[in-house]
Structure 1
Amino acid sequence: MFAHPLSMPGRHNNKSITDVMALRATLASAERGQALARSLAK
């Protein structure tokens, strides 16, 4: 599957960390959007 980027030194290390950070930011913004939608729907 997916190895933790910090356990994989090498040329893909920086890209892996960047991808993880981008994914976390996307998930966080999606969660905020869902919370806002729920609060507006009440």
Structure 2
Amino acid sequence: MARPKKYKIELTDNELKILKSVIRKNKTSKTIRCRCQIIIDL
């Protein structure tokens, strides 16, 4: 089986700040929080 591709993502400080604020908001769905966390971890 082929391995999944790994993408190199470089976030600016502002983009990282926005993603972290989205994760902290209570109105954000679990799916969006999970996706934001995945992007931060890349």
TM-score with structure 2 length normalisation? Answer: 0.36
Taking structure 1 as the reference length, the TM-score comes to 0.36
Higher share of residues assigned helix: 1
State the structure with bigger RCO (CA 8 A, min sep 6), 1 or 2: 2
User: Larger C-alpha radius of gyration, 1 or 2?
Assistant: 1
